[in-house]
Structure formats: structure tokens, C-alpha cells
Structure 1
Amino acid sequence: MARIALCQVNSGDDPEANLKLVHDGVETAVAGGARIVVFPEATMARFGRPLAPVAEALDGPWATAVAATAAEHDVVVVAGMFTPAGDGRVRNTLLITGGGHHRGYDKIHLYDAFGFAESDTVAPGTTPVTFEHDGIVFGVATCYDVRFPELFRALADDGADVVLLPTSWGAGEGKRDQWEVLVRARALDSGCWVLGCGQSDPAATGVSANPKAPTGIGYSTVADGFGRVVAQAGAAPEVLLVDVDPAVSAQARTATGALANRRL
């Protein structure tokens, strides 16, 4: 069993100011007993601003500061940041730090959809990532990745019972419905717990945001391997705590046969 905190926040334009969101979120999560603390995609700096000027390597000051917070509280922190890609673009990276880990996952599927072209400024990753903590294997995925079941099945094949899914979901008609359906569907596809941690809705807290950029809708959602919604946040900033039992993943895979009965 693992207690995981989803810290649904509104990140702003300034990476330094967003470090305070991380520090405060970790303190709240640890007070609630969390061992893993998850923040949204683009926690370092929100979409809708130039990303190349803020991108840093995983050994740069921003990731190092997050690592120090994780070490101070003896937790694993997963948070969205941007790293240089080397071609003038950046990579949309999930930082995984604490508990002996300090590594990144580069978002594989880029959000070239609904009139937004993430690939103009972001280079894609290529490699799925898992890590182990407290005897549980975790996979990671980012936002638009949730539309691609193959990734979640690959993470399950690599031993993951839980997938952490930071996101900065784009607003629009039907988008919340799609978000909830996709989180539940990927849980059913893979038999994994899927924990989607989103940026909160700027409108819910009166924060101004670029209306053309995917800056969040809130509604962080947790589904187990049977596709059941176990916990969900509202639209505003919130720390959502959930206890995850990896045995449920094994039960779901046995019951549905969704992995064992594959033919393609």
C-alpha cells in the first residue's frame, strides 16, 4: 500500500515562484502521510509563455531545489519541468526525484491537437520510464500520452502497477468528459492504477492565463485497474490524498484478461 498525494496547483510564469508551490505542496502532503508527491505537467512554468528561456538540465538549479525538498521530507517528488532539447526546442520532462532517484521522463506524445502545436516548441521523447519505491513499480506518463493505450500497456509489461500522470489539460467543450473517460480507459487497458494530476482551472481562482494554451481544468482523477474512480479533485487548487494497493492491479488483470488475452 502506498499513500500518494496529487498536488493540483496553478503554476505561473516564474520558475522560482513555482518552487514555493512545490515546497508548500510537499509539506501539506507529508503532513497527510504521503510517500510520493505528484505535481502537474508544466509545474516549472506554465504553457503560454516562452519555454526555452526557462529550460534547465536535470542537474540545474530548479531540479536541484526540488530534489532538496524531496530529501528534506524523505519522499519521492514527481513534477513537470522543461529541459533543453539541443535543437532550439525543449523537452517536456517529468522530474522524478527523491528516495534514491533523480531522473526524467521526456513526454513521448506531443499535443498537436485541438489547434495547439506543442511540437513547434517541444521535442518528443522516445523511452517509457518506470521506477520502484517502497516495493511498488510506478510508471509515468504526461497529459496527451493518455490518448495512447500502447504506452500504458508497455508500462504494465515493464512491471508497473501504478501510472502517475501529470497533466495540463486544455479547456474546451467536452474536454473534461474526455479526460475522465481516458483516465478510466487507460486503467482498464493496462490493469494499472492511473493517477492523473492536473493543473487547476485558472478561472476557478481568478488567475489570468493564455486562452490558447492548455493551462488546466482541474479534476485530478484516480482510477483503479477496474476503471473505477476512487478519488477526484474539483476545479480549484487542492491536495488529493489516495491510498493505492498494488494487489488491486493484479486482481483487475486476472479478471479482465486485458493483457493476457492480447493478440496484436
Structure 2
Amino acid sequence: MRASLVQLRVDAVESPADRRHRAAALVRTRTGDDLVVLPESWAAGAWNHDSWERDAEPIDGPTAQAMSDAAREAGVWLHAGTLVERGPDGTLYNTALVFDPSGVRRGLYRKIHRYGFDTGEAALMGAGDQVVTVPTGSATLGLATCYDLRFPELFRALLDAGADVLTVPAAWPAGRLAHLTLFARTRAVEEQCFLLACVAVGEHGGVRQAGHSMIVTPWGDVLAEAADEEEIVTADLDLAEVARVRKELPVLRDRVMGIPVPAHRR
């Protein structure tokens, strides 16, 4: 599987419409890739709390339509990052969308863990309650978003649901880049999966974004990593490595917490 992370610049000076146009144009250049991933809340801005009410969209709004068209034109599976969704009852959600190469939406994940400690996302958005995986034919994507990285139980649930490639769009603050790197590599090692973290760059809402999007192997090695400017990083994922790692280091079969304990262990 050839995967690309489109590390978008998200700055306060650019409108959501301009970012949609630029993101779609970048996705269309990825013809020949199998999977393309975008960052978190790149259209509205993940830290632009004051503008979320104005910029929120329905699930089939302009960002979804632009990404569907781009996926179809490039012929790729597209994890379109997340958007600020206005749900049917008016509740705002941080929602990830996945499109297949024909532009059909195949996945929708509303972020479960909301960041902000009673402010920002935690105060203004509803929480998702579904563990979501998306089979692509060659891999099964496990969907998580940014702050979710700090909650290992979600990733264990994604593993149990069959994920072998974990996708994590993010708008991670630059001041905590070390945490991003630590968590991304740890989750890949824990679940013995590939992990793709696509992180925004730029500054909006007074927060500078970390960048350093990365593709991590099931061994925890960083296969490819961006710097801190807008760029695209690409790597070929040998999906057979997931089975090889799990056979060589079969730690997952020794789990005794959270699953029924076999009789011979009692």
C-alpha cells in the first residue's frame, strides 16, 4: 500500500473555501497512491473555536463534496481528515470522513475524546461513541483523531475490530511535539499496526501546529516523517509486516485483561 500524508498549512489568514480548494488540488496530485490522509479540522481550523459556529458544515456539505470529488479524480482512498460537523440536531462534532476511489463515503468517525479540559472542543462539541474501522480491500483502517492518541483503550478496541493501519489526523501543538512522537510510536508498537499521523502546520487560534507527520511501522520505526512546513510525505507499507511482527513477537496472544481468560490460565 502506498500511503501519503498531506501535511496542510492552516493559517488564520486563509478562508475555509481557500483551504478546500488547495487541499483538493493537492489530493488530485496523488494519482498512483492507494491511501491519502489529511489533518484534523483543516477547513475551519482546529483551534479557531470562535468561528466554529459560523464555519460548521453538514456531513454532506462543501468540504465533504470537495473531498469526494478529489478522491474520485485521483482514484485513491482518501481519509479527508476531520471537519467541524453540524449534526442533525445542531450539535457540533469533530468528524472524520473516509472516501473510496469512486468518491463514495465509506467511513464516518466522530471524535470520542474532546480536548480542552472544559473549554474549547470539550465545551463546544459533542462526543462520538463509536469505534470505527474501514476495510479498503488491502487493509483495514482504524480511525482516531489527535487527542485520542492519549487513550490507549481506543486503539486496543480498534485492534480488536480488525485494524492493521491506524489513521490519526491531528492539529497537535508544536510545544508538545515530543508527546506526539512518543504516543504515535507507542500505539503502533502496542497494537503491532502501522500508524499514520497527519498533522497540520501553520498557526491559527494563537496555536502553532507541530507538523512532523509520520508513518510508523508495527515495530515502532518511523518509516517517513515530514518537517514543519507544508509538504507531502509518502511511503510504501508492506502490510505483510503486520503478520510477521505479530508472529515474531506474539505479545497480543498473552493478553489477560479486558478479554475472557482461557481455562488453562485460571
Q: TM-score, normalised by structure 2?
A: 0.87
SS in structure 2 at match of 1:77 = strand
Verify the 8 A CA contact 1:8 1:39 in the aligned structure 2: yes
Equivalent residues in 2 for 1:138-149, closer than 5 Å: 138-149=141-152
Counterpart CA distance in 2 for 1:19 and 1:241 is 21
Q: Does 1:109 align with 2:102?
A: no
Counterpart CA distance in 1 for 2:237 and 2:119 is 34
Please report how far the alpha carbon of residue 176 of structure 1 lies from its aligned counterpart in structure 2 after TM superposition. 1.2
Equivalent residues in 2 for 1:219-258, closer than 5 Å: 219-258=212-251
SS in structure 1 at match of 2:30 = helix
SS in structure 2 at match of 1:58 = coil
Which amino acid is the alignment partner of residue 211 of structure 2?
G
Please report how far the alpha carbon of residue 251 of structure 1 lies from its aligned counterpart in structure 2 after TM superposition. 1.8
SS in structure 2 at match of 1:26 = helix
Q: 1:116 to 1:254 in 2, by over 3 A?
A: farther
What value does the CA root-mean-square deviation take over the aligned residues?
1.9
Q: Does 1:260 align with 2:261?
A: no
Query: 1:168 — aligned with what?
Result: 171
Which has the larger displacement, 215-224 or 175-184?
215-224
SS in structure 2 at match of 1:109 = coil
Verify the 8 A CA contact 2:10 2:204 in the aligned structure 1: no
Please give the per-residue CA displacement for 1:128-162, whole angstroms capped at 9, x wherever unaligned.
11112242111111001111111112111111110
Counterpart CA distance in 1 for 2:153 and 2:144 is 12
Equivalent residues in 2 for 1:1-264, closer than 5 Å: 2-12=1-11, 14-30=15-31, 33-46=32-45, 47-48=47-48, 49-79=50-80, 80-85=82-87, 89-99=91-101, 101-102=104-105, 103-113=107-117, 117-172=120-175, 175-200=176-201, 202=202, 209-211=204-206, 213=207, 216-264=209-257
Q: TM-score, normalised by structure 1?
A: 0.88
Counterpart CA distance in 1 for 2:252 and 2:120 is 33
Please report how far the alpha carbon of residue 89 of structure 1 lies from its aligned counterpart in structure 2 after TM superposition. 4.1
Please report how far the alpha carbon of residue 258 of structure 1 lies from its aligned counterpart in structure 2 after TM superposition. 3.4
Please give the per-residue CA displacement for 1:206-239, whole angstroms capped at 9, x wherever unaligned.
xx5322x4x5210001111111111110010110
Please report how far the alpha carbon of residue 87 of structure 1 lies from its aligned counterpart in structure 2 after TM superposition. 6.2
Counterpart CA distance in 1 for 2:189 and 2:246 is 9
Which amino acid is the alignment partner of residue 43 of structure 2?
M
SS in structure 1 at match of 2:183 = helix
> Percent sequence identity over matched residues?
32
SS in structure 2 at match of 1:29 = coil
Counterpart CA distance in 2 for 1:177 and 1:61 is 35
Please report how far the alpha carbon of residue 71 of structure 1 lies from its aligned counterpart in structure 2 after TM superposition. 1.1
Point out the structure with max Rg over C-alpha.
2
Please give the per-residue CA displacement for 1:171-218, whole angstroms capped at 9, x wherever unaligned.
32xx11111110000001111100100001x2xxxxx5322x4x5210
Residue segments in structure 2 that go unaligned for 5+ positions in a row: 258-266
Which amino acid is the alignment partner of residue 97 of structure 2?
L
Residue segments in structure 1 that go unaligned for 5+ positions in a row: 203-207
Please report how far the alpha carbon of residue 256 of structure 1 lies from its aligned counterpart in structure 2 after TM superposition. 3.1
Please report how far the alpha carbon of residue 98 of structure 1 lies from its aligned counterpart in structure 2 after TM superposition. 2.5
Please report how far the alpha carbon of residue 116 of structure 1 lies from its aligned counterpart in structure 2 after TM superposition. 5.5
Counterpart CA distance in 1 for 2:119 and 2:185 is 24
Counterpart CA distance in 2 for 1:258 and 1:153 is 13
How many residue pairs match? The answer is 250
Which amino acid is the alignment partner of residue 254 of structure 2?
N
Counterpart CA distance in 2 for 1:252 and 1:150 is 21
SS in structure 2 at match of 1:225 = coil
SS in structure 2 at match of 1:112 = coil
Please report how far the alpha carbon of residue 35 of structure 1 lies from its aligned counterpart in structure 2 after TM superposition. 1.7
Counterpart CA distance in 1 for 2:209 and 2:245 is 30
Query: 2:262 — aligned with what?
Result: none
